[in-house]
């Protein structure tokens, strides 16, 4: 891959990330500044959202607490920022969730509560339902992450073993006024799925949670299984009075990031094929499908002719069969590389807009016509890397990782394929 092609792919990814910058997007959706407000929140973007709120409401008396992932902290003067583990929760997250619940419960009927919610909040808001231990909650998260369940399925189960998710944070804040400011990281932008919907009605049920357990054959801890079987305390549903004084606004959505990247591609003279921001499925399989589409474009039989850029977003899944390192974006890229088999003139980038693909230090990676050969020259195999879910090791060895560091936002995955 030439330096100029890689620089262009990086520019597309950077445009997508910048379009979701909380410092720009949050002030644009805030109402007029009140005299005082209580601020709570959770997610990878939520600390940056808190800082943007402080700047926008410089004269407002603010208090409260927000939890974010380690490394995603930003300094705030009036709002407490707590860092915790993601994707498997830790004790810091449990303590932060309790503080957030307490802040919500302390709000009076005339108070305004601002909830800053973004992707990653589900793992960071860790308040197990009564009778479930923290260790058992962690075990459920570990199993879900390896299961191949999509984000909606994972959060359906999470909400039904939680004291804070699935509308329960809104329940705690009632009867105060509650405004939720969202940065979406889920296909379809469903507020009930983003961070497991702590401040919005939950349309799912205990029966739905049982269905997820059965579908993925999860071996649940006894306390969790007992809680689901009893099904005594259903999450608040649409029409519940706890939502009478609630409202929500979106600060950023994945489709705007796709639009921003498309503008960069068009300005550079490329035709854009926009596949949308709601793509899901097994990462390697989607990669193979996109490779076939790129080859069609290269041959002049696809939706656009070369030179073109194929853009997409969404959230794929990885069904773990090995114990390697990597995430869904690097696995997606291995699927493309294998299917392309060194086809000339096709290059791609895929990344998580939060800056972390899976649990490693990279946002994503790049592939090109020389990826398979570079892997072989390093003593590695794309086929073996897929079999062991070890995409990170392969891309690290061939020098094709995309490392951004924390981006302080999160609008799901971004993918771009350049066909020359």
User: Contact, 134 vs 205, CB < 8 A?
Assistant: no
Separation of alpha carbons 184 and 410, rounded Å: 7
Domains and CATH numbers, the chain: 3-15+255-419 (3.40.1480.10), 31-252 (3.40.50.10180)
pLDDT value of position 231: 85
Taking the CA of residue 15 as centre, how many other CA atoms within 13 Å lie in the half-sphere pointing to its CB?
21
* Alpha carbons 407 and 400: distance in angstroms, whole number: 19
Separation of alpha carbons 207 and 42, rounded Å: 27
109: alpha, beta or left? (left if phi > 0; alpha if psi -120 to 50): alpha
Q: φ and ψ at 251, to 5 degrees?
A: -85, -35
420 residues of the chain, pLDDT tens digit each: 888 999 999 999 999 999 999 999 999 999 999 999 999 999 999 999 999 999 999 999 999 999 999 999 999 999 999 999 998 899 999 999 999 999 999 999 999 999 999 999 999 999 999 999 999 999 998 999 889 899 889 999 999 999 999 999 999 999 999 999 999 999 999 999 999 999 999 999 999 999 999 999 999 999 999 999 988 889 999 999 999 999 999 999 999 999 999 999 999 999 999 999 999 999 999 999 999 999 999 999 999 999 999 999 999 999 988 989 999 999 999 999 999 999 999 999 999 999 999 888 999 999 999 999 999 999 999 999 999 999 999 999 999 999 999 999 999 999 999 999
pLDDT of res. 301: 97
Q: What is the pTM of this model?
A: 0.93
Q: Output the pLDDT for position 151.
A: 87
For 117, other C-beta atoms within 10 Å of its C-beta total 32
Which of 333, 336, 269 is CA-nearest to residue 304? 269
């Amino acid at each position: 891959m030439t330096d100029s092609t890689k620089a262009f792919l990086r520019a597309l990814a950077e445009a997508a990330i910048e379009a979701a910058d909380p410092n720009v997007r949050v002030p644009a959706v805030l109402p007029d500044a009140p005299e005082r407000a209580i601020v709570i929140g959770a997610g990878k973007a939520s600390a940056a959202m808190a800082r943007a709120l402080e700047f926008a409401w410089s004269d407002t008396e603010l208090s409260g607490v927000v939890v974010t992932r380690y490394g995603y902290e930003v300094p705030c003067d009036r709002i407490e920022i707590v860092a915790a583990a993601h994707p498997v929760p830790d004790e810091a997250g449990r303590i932060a969730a309790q503080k957030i619940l307490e802040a919500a419960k302390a709000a009076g009927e005339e108070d305004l509560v601002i909830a800053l919610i973004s992707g990653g909040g589900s793992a960071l808001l860790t308040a197990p339902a009564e009778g479930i231990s923290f260790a058992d909650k962690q075990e459920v998260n570990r199993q879900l992450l390896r299961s191949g369940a999509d984000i909606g399925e994972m959060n359906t189960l999470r909400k039904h073993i939680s004291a804070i998710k699935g509308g329960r944070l809104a329940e705690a804040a009632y009867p105060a006024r509650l405004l939720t400011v969202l940065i979406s990281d889920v296909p379809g932008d469903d507020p009930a799925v983003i961070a497991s919907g702590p401040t919005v009605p939950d349309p799912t049920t205990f029966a739905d949670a049982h269905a997820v357990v059965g579908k993925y054959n999860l071996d649940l801890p006894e306390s969790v299984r007992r809680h689901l079987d009893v099904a005594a305390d259903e999450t608040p549903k649409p029409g519940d009075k706890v939502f009478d004084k609630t409202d929500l606004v979106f600060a950023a959505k994945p489709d705007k990031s796709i639009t921003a990247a498309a503008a960069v591609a068009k300005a550079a003279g490329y035709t854009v094929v926009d596949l949308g921001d709601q793509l899901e499925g097994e990462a390697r399989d989607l990669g193979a499908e996109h490779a076939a589409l790129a080859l069609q474009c290269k041959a002049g039989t696809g939706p656009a002719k070369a030179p073109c850029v194929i853009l997409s977003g969404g959230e794929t899944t990885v069904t773990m069969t090995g114990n390697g390192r990597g995430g869904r974006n690097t696995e997606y890229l291995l699927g493309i590389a294998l299917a392309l088999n060194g086809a000339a003139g096709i290059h791609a980038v895929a990344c998580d807009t939060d800056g972390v693909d899976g649990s490693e230090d990279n946002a994503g990676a790049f592939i090109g016509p020389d990826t398979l050969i570079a892997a072989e020259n390093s003593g590695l195999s794309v086929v073996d890397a897929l079999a062991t879910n070890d995409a990170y090791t392969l891309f690290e060895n061939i020098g094709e990782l995309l490392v951004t560091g924390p981006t302080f936002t999160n609008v799901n995955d971004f993918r771009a394929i350049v066909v020359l």
